[in-house]
């Protein structure tokens, strides 16, 4: 059992959990994730390790409630425990000293960008982070990204905080003003990652994206998370989650993400209705 030692709301429907998981806290590297089951009957859900404290033996997960499993998770209180947390899984981010690295995080994608920015800064790279959200209240982890970056540029869709712009507009301006960075890393909604990759392609800037395909086992056996990268089939859970953004077939990935949308919606609504009927 994996005890939840702290729980904090970061934005509407976005919660940070600090979870006791000493072995994972020691072993994890930037870019890796865990598979979590809240209870012994729950489905497994993949969540990025947003931070870890090996001394305290804890990992940090930042979770957006989007469906039934993440809604059940939101009912977990401090002192309760997740039934299992398996990991660290996935290939770690390739980190080396290379100069200027631009980290682009959109919405909940800011959480998985955080350990990558930290790791690049730790090896001496200059890290500029571009953080985007729909509105001010949805922007998360600004202080953590400021600590992990030399500069942070913020934009919101409605202009309620930072610049009124999309992350791609801020990125393009940065490239024009500062020259080509050594690498761009983008994590956020697939459509955002697709357009970040399209922005960097003409400049031939190496661009990594972290894919959030639907996963079942997280071990490369079920095939649920397959994506096409450079014309080849890859499994996000074992070959990724990071891939060359210029080679990913985003349109296919977005179609596959919608495969179970109807069933997911029904399960979420039925769960919320049940909870409301119990007065919870
Ligand atoms: C490697 C990886 C790391 C992730 N890290 C985080 C994280 O740090 N924080 C976070 O909030 N979310 C993260 N996700 C997404 C998270 O796993 C899903 O939001 C979660 O599984 C949804 O479960 P649900 O039952 O609540 O929703 P469902 O009812 O299953 O789905 C609701 C909606 O979420 C989408 N969805 C379902 N499963 C996934 C999935 N596996 N990945 C992405 N979208 C999904 C569906 O298309 C649907 O639109 C990550 C996904 C991957 C693959
Ligand atoms: S989740 Fe099963 S193969 Fe990746």
pTM for this model (two decimals): 0.93
Cα 242 to Cα 222: distance, rounded to the nearest angstrom: 19
Ligand 1 atom, smallest distance to 258 CA = 47
Question: Does residue 241 have a cis bond before it (omega within 30 degrees)?
Answer: yes
**Burial 56-68, CB ≥16 within 10 A → b, else e:** ebbbbbbbbbebb
CA nearest to 208, candidates 117, 143, 89: 117
Tell me the per-residue pLDDT of 23-71, one tens digit each, with 9 for 90 and over. 999 999 999 999 999 998 889 999 999 999 999 999 999 999 998 999 9
Given this model, what pLDDT does residue 268 score?
A: 84
Over residues 6-23, mean pLDDT: 96
Over residues 189-210, mean pLDDT: 96
Cα 135 to Cα 126: distance, rounded to the nearest angstrom: 27
Ligand 2 atom, smallest distance to 46 CA = 1
CA of 257 to the centre of ligand 1 (A): 10
Cα 250 to Cα 228: distance, rounded to the nearest angstrom: 8
Tell me the per-residue pLDDT of 241-260, one tens digit each, with 9 for 90 and over. 999 999 999 999 998 888 77
Residue 214 Cβ contacting ligand 1 at under 6 Å: yes
Ligand nearest to the CA of 190: 1
Cα 38 to Cα 81: distance, rounded to the nearest angstrom: 8
Ligand nearest to the CA of 115: 1
Ligand 2 atom, smallest distance to 224 CA = 2
246 class by beta-carbon count within 10 Å (0-12 exposed, 13-18 middle, 19+ buried): middle
- The residue contributing the CA closest to ligand 1 atom 17 is 46
Residue 261 Cβ contacting ligand 1 at under 6 Å: yes
Question: Percentage of the chain surpassing pLDDT 90?
Answer: 85
Over residues 77-98, mean pLDDT: 95
**Burial 124-156, CB ≥16 within 10 A → b, else e:** ebbbbbbbbbeeeebbbbbebbeebbeebbbbb
Pick the more confident residue, 269 or 114.
114
**Does the pLDDT at position 227 exceed 90?**
yes
Model confidence band, residue 280 (pLDDT cutoffs 50, 70, 90): low
Over residues 85-102, mean pLDDT: 95
Tell me the per-residue pLDDT of 119-175, one tens digit each, with 9 for 90 and over. 999 999 999 999 999 999 999 999 999 999 999 999 999 999 999 999 999 999 999
CA of 158 to the centre of ligand 1 (A): 25
Q: In degrees rounded to 5, what are phi and psi of residue 6?
A: -155, 155
Over residues 176-190, mean pLDDT: 95
Ligand nearest to the CA of 256: 1
Over residues 258-279, mean pLDDT: 83
Q: In what order do the strands lie in the sheet with 242-244?
A: 163-164, 151-156, 126-133, 100-106, 183-187, 207-210, 242-244
pLDDT, the chain, mean: 94
């Amino acid at each position: 059992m994996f005890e939840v030692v702290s729980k904090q709301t970061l934005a509407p429907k976005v919660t940070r959990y600090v979870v006791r998981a000493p072995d994972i806290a020691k072993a994890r590297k930037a870019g890796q994730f865990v598979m979590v089951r809240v209870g012994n009957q729950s489905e497994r859900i993949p969540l990025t390790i947003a931070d870890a404290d090996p001394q305290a033996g804890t990992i940090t997960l930042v979770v957006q409630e989007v469906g039934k499993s993440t809604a059940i998770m939101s009912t977990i209180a401090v002192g309760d425990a997740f039934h299992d947390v398996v990991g660290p899984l996935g290939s770690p981010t390739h980190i080396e000293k290379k100069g200027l690295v631009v980290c682009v995080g959109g919405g909940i994608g800011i959480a998985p960008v955080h350990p990558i920015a930290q790791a690049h800064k730790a090896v001496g790279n200059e890290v500029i982070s571009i953080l985007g959200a729909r509105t001010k209240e949805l922007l998360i982890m600004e202080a953590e990204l400021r600590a992990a970056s030399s500069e942070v540029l913020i934009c919101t869709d409605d202009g309620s905080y930072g610049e009124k712009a999309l992350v791609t507009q801020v990125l393009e301006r940065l490239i024009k003003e500062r020259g080509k960075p050594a690498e761009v890393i983008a994590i956020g909604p697939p459509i955002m990652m697709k357009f970040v990759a399209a922005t960097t392609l003409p400049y031939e800037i190496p661009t990594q994206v972290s894919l959030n395909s639907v996963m079942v086992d997280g071990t490369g056996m079920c095939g649920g998370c397959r994506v096409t990268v450079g014309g080849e089939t890859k499994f996000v859970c074992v070959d990724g989650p990071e891939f060359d953004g210029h080679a990913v077939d985003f349109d296919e990935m977005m179609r596959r993400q919608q495969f179970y949308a109807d069933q997911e919606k029904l399960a979420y609504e039925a769960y919320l209705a049940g909870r409301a009927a119990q007065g919870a």
